[in-house]
Copies of this chain bind each other. A is one copy, B any other.
Amino acid sequence: MKFGGTSMAGTERIRRVAGLVRAQAAGKGGVRNQVAVVVSAMAGETDRLVGFCREANPLHDAAEYDVVVSSGEQVTSGLLALTLQSLGERARSWLGWQLPIRTIEAHSKARVETIDAPGMLEALNQGEIAVIPGFQGVSHRERITTMGRGGSDTSAVAIAAAVGADRCDIYTDVDGVYTTDPRIVAKARKLKAVTYEEMLELASVGAKVLQSRAVGLARKAGVRLQVLSSFVDESANASADDLLGTLIVSEDEMDEMVEKGLMERQLVTGIAHDKTEAKVILTRVPDKPGAVAHIFEPLADASINVDMIIQNVGRDKGETDVTFTVPQADLARAQALLEDRRDMIGFNRIITDSQIAKISVVGVGMKSHAGVASTMFRSLSDRGINIQAISTSEIKVSVMIDEDETELAVRVLHTAYGLDSSE
């Protein structure tokens, strides 16, 4: 079980979390479950600690930064262990260096290498609940490392893999993964299950429920995830062993669930939107070998993530317009890099536009089904929404449109693919 910062914000909320953990440990029909819990720092605490580090040294040493910021999770793991004890459970905290969770040396952006937890496994076998601070590990030099903001999800998956957990439940402030953003479409439905691949596509286009790294690691390690809310009705505690949120599983398990009649096969699983990209057009680029490489190599070297790319043959022969998207946050940097290489690339003008949105339909069902993309294009054009660019993957079709039309496009597509709830 993994609980985020909002769930751990203060001793009152930690008591609620302890209740959920206790219910999970109690199991069903007299058979107890073994439970390891991964916790974030209290909401706001990591920001406070990061603020101290910035004040102390704007160019901070990442190793000392990790010493400071890892303390937030240390506090909540001790407090949750204490609270579980007050409910009569046996519990103890296991810090990153105590398990240990070995990571690479990269401070403040570490990745888990190995988790050797003989002591914790022994304690779990004896019925003790393990509480583990998320986000932290220990390097081979015996120094505290952290995994970057949001790294607690990744810790939880890595620990679930290491202990061979049946499931890794990620408690957040939403109660599952929806067919689309419920703030835009009131008839959005909570999904019973999605595949890892669908979840990655949904996350990468703006449905930020889980860290993509955590989902990727879960897929690789075969860890079954569940996303659910720690703020559900108290009465739900009674059936804590039931599945209340959204499962994230392999395609094989999804197929099994469909065969057993546990859920219906969907062509499209969800509609995602993303307003964080910006469009860049380079006009009149010479249409010769290597020209495109001159554009994208420097961006890649600067770790600027280029997404959609379109080449339009221009009016003059031997020239072409190149359009692509980059994150808005990187737009100024990208522009400067390209201006520096104007002569080498040989373009005429740079036109940029931040007022764009990317709308994606995602579904593992489209692998075996044609016509998904054409439904998308027709539905949007029927409502007069202009498509500026298109990109596709095996389980996703994305279009670039004007940002103002985001909500309309999402609603139109949600209905077109039959995702609206009947309630």
Contact = CB atoms under 8 A, between A and B. Distances in A.
A98 to B, nearest CB: 6
Most chain B CB atoms below 10 A, which of A56, A72, A83, A144: A56
A296 interface: no
Contacts of A68: 74-75, 78-79, 82
Given A86-B57, A97-B97, A98-B142, A52 B79 contact: yes
A265 interface: no
Contact of A81 (B49, B61, B92): B61
A95 interface: yes
B97 A56 contact: no
A60 B166 CA distance: 32
Interface of A: 11, 14-15, 49, 52-53, 55-61, 63-68, 70-72, 74-75, 77-83, 85-86, 92-93, 95, 97-98, 142-144
Given A11-B52, A68-B82, 20 more contacts: A11-B56, A15-B56, A52-B79, A56-B83, A57-B82, A57-B83, A58-B86, A60-B82, A63-B92, A64-B78, A64-B79, A64-B82, A64-B85, A65-B82, A68-B74, A71-B71, A71-B72, A74-B74, A97-B97, A98-B143
A67 B98 CA distance: 12
A71 B133 CA distance: 13
Nearest to A144: B95
A55 B143 contact: no
Contacts of A80: 56
A97 B59 CA distance: 27
Contact of A67 (B52, B78, B85): B78
A75 B67 CA distance: 7
A266 B66 CA distance: 52
A67 B56 contact: no
Contacts of A11: 52, 55-56
A67 to B, nearest CB: 4
7 contacts: A11-B55, A60-B82, A60-B85, A64-B78, A67-B75, A67-B93, A68-B82
B93 A64 contact: yes
Contacts of A58: 86
A414 B289 CA distance: 95
B97 A85 contact: no
A181 to B, nearest CB: 36
Contacts of A56: 11, 14-15, 79-80, 82-83, 86
Contacts of A63: 92
Contacts of A79: 52-53, 56, 64, 68
A308 to B, nearest CB: 41
A365 B352 CA distance: 86
A65 B78 contact: yes
A386 B78 CA distance: 54
A51 B83 CA distance: 13
Contacts of A78: 53, 64-68
Contacts of A59: 86
A85 B98 contact: no
A75 B55 contact: no
A11 B50 CA distance: 12
Given A11-B55, A55-B11, A86-B56, A92 B71 contact: no
B86 A64 contact: no
A404 B15 CA distance: 49
Given A74-B71, A142-B98, A53 B65 contact: no
A243 to B, nearest CB: 29
